[in-house]
């Protein structure tokens, strides 16, 4: 069944594990090392995963995903439209989407001009996993290097 919040509203289950958050920290650390930044981990239900900092000042919000495929496996990567729209609305700084693939780490700046499809996971038996998603072409991603 559904979980209920304190005011009786239905709440979706949280699938993110401590292992997921630890992996996101490793990805954030690697990118920050390359870009000479530090990061701040956001609370569990924040719309974005990390804030990247330069001299303790926020330079961008960051959403991080790990995809267990090569970067050229699919023509695009999906990300929840609601999540992206919330990040763009709430964040006064640029927002990046960083994806760690099996062969490289890549990033793109988030915006709301990508095409939208109904997409989502099928492996958790949760009908709410299917939702409007931005389809972000893999060609829009740049590999993380120390030159950025």
Mind listing the pLDDT tens digit of every residue in the chain (148 residues)? 444 445 544 454 556 688 888 999 999 999 999 999 999 999 988 999 999 999 999 999 999 999 999 999 999 999 999 999 999 999 888 999 999 999 999 999 999 999 999 987 677 677 777 899 999 999 999 999 988 7
How far apart CA 124 and CA 119 sit, in angstroms, is 14
Predicted local confidence at residue 16, as pLDDT:
65
Cα of 110 vs its chain's centroid, Å:
10
Beta bridge partners, 43, equal: none
Predicted local confidence at residue 77, as pLDDT:
95
Predicted local confidence at residue 121, as pLDDT:
66
How far apart CA 69 and CA 106 sit, in angstroms, is 13
């Amino acid at each position: 069944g559904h979980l209920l919040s304190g005011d009786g509203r239905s709440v979706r289950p949280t699938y993110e594990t401590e292992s997921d958050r630890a992996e996101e920290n490793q990805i954030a650390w690697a990118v920050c090392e390359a870009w000479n930044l530090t990061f701040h981990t956001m609370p569990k239900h924040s719309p974005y995963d990390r804030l990247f900092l330069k001299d303790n000042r926020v330079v961008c919000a960051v959403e991080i995903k790990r995809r267990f495929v090569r970067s050229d496996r699919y023509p695009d990567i999906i990300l929840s439209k609601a999540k992206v729209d919330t990040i763009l609305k709430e964040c006064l700084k640029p927002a990046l989407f960083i994806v760690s693939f099996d062969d490289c780490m890549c990033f793109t700046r988030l915006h709301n001009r990508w095409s939208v499809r109904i997409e989502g996971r099928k492996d958790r038996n949760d009908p709410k996993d299917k939702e409007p998603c931005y389809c972000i072409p893999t060609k829009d991603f740049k590999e993380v290097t120390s030159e950025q």
